[in-house]
A and B are shown apart, each in its own frame.
Chain A
Amino acid sequence: MKSESEFGGSVSVVGHGFEHAGRVSNDIKKTLLAKGIPEGIVRRVSVVIFEVEVNIISYAETGIIKYQVLPDSIIIEATDQGQGIADIELAQQEGYSTADDKIREMGFGAGMGLSNIKKFSDVFEIKSDVGKGTYVRSVINIDGKKDHRG
């Protein structure tokens, strides 16, 4: 199934606002479903957006999440102005975390965020400058072979 036309959007996220976690992903999820994107694809996009949203809230002062729906794929880009990641390889290892107590009290900080984004993406890219911020790009193919029932 193909989307009716190319479209997208951009949302800014403010750091530390745990009470709003999930709002961006929930809004975009509703938009994508309304546009007729298949449910399985929307679920994967929602997970990726949720995790980048939580990362911005946890580690940055502010950030922007952009998504673009193309005929064959959905591209998600998150750019934040935050503390950045010193060792990107290590940060992608499941279980590695730099989360503080506040983040852990919120149920996050298990060291699974980046690996979840990778798991639910077809293409995953990350760049980071310590003290400046982090950029994450995820591509999900609309007719992708990865199948996550959840």
Chain B
Amino acid sequence: MNLDFFVEKLELQCKCCWENLRREVAGGYVGDLLSDVIANSNSGDIWVTRQVHQNIVAVATLKEHAGIIIIQGVQPEKETIEKAAKEGMPIMVSSLPAFEMVGKIYNLMHST
């Protein structure tokens, strides 16, 4: 299952790195504490967070995530998008809260 599948099904607003939306999604993780995400997420995860500063790009790059979804319709900072574009890390925005977003991702991953 690729990122673009989730972008389409969940009507995500992609902010950068459209060329990397073919990336395979291996799993998912949700969290706003960066060290928790560092400790417990895995490579290929789609990461759901409410954080918007550029450190999320550093963490997602470190952990080789497939991409980042920012929830509640919050827009990432300009520097965050610039850094993500440089690192090739797709950032997507959803208006949904984390609980609903994660539930939908989980269902899509486990229903096919």
What is the interface of chain A, defined by CB distance below 8 A to chain B? 18-19, 21-23, 25-26, 29, 43, 46-47, 50-51, 105-108, 110, 112-113, 115-116, 119, 149-150
Contacts and interface: CB of A to CB of B under 8 A. Distances in A.
Contacts of A106: 34, 53, 55
B38 interface: yes
In order of increasing CB-CB distance, the 8 nearest A-B pairs are: A22-B58, A112-B35, A150-B42, A107-B34, A110-B33, A107-B51, A110-B35, A116-B39
Given A107-B34, A110-B35, A150 B58 contact: no
Contacts of A105: 53
B36 A19 contact: no
Given A22-B61, A50-B62, A51-B35, A107 B55 contact: yes
Nearest to A20: B58
Looking at chain A's contact residues, is the secondary structure mostly helix, strand, loop, or mixed?
helix
Interface residues of B, number: 25
A113 B64 CA distance: 19
B62 A22 contact: yes
B13 interface: no
B32 A46 contact: no
Nearest to A40: B43
Contacts, number: 68
B35 A26 contact: no
A105 B38 CA distance: 17
B53 A22 contact: no
B61 A26 contact: yes
Given A22-B55, A116-B39, A107 B62 contact: no
Contacts of B56: 107
Contact of A150 (B33, B40, B57): B40
Nearest to B53: A106
Contacts of B35: 51, 108, 110, 112-113, 116
Given A22-B57, A26-B61, 13 more contacts: A43-B63, A50-B59, A105-B53, A106-B55, A107-B33, A107-B53, A108-B34, A110-B36, A112-B33, A112-B38, A112-B39, A116-B35, A150-B40
Nearest to B83: A19
27 contacts: A18-B55, A19-B54, A21-B55, A21-B58, A22-B57, A22-B58, A22-B61, A26-B62, A43-B43, A43-B64, A46-B62, A50-B59, A51-B35, A105-B53, A106-B55, A107-B59, A108-B34, A108-B55, A110-B33, A110-B35, A112-B35, A116-B38, A119-B39, A149-B42, A149-B43, A150-B41, A150-B63
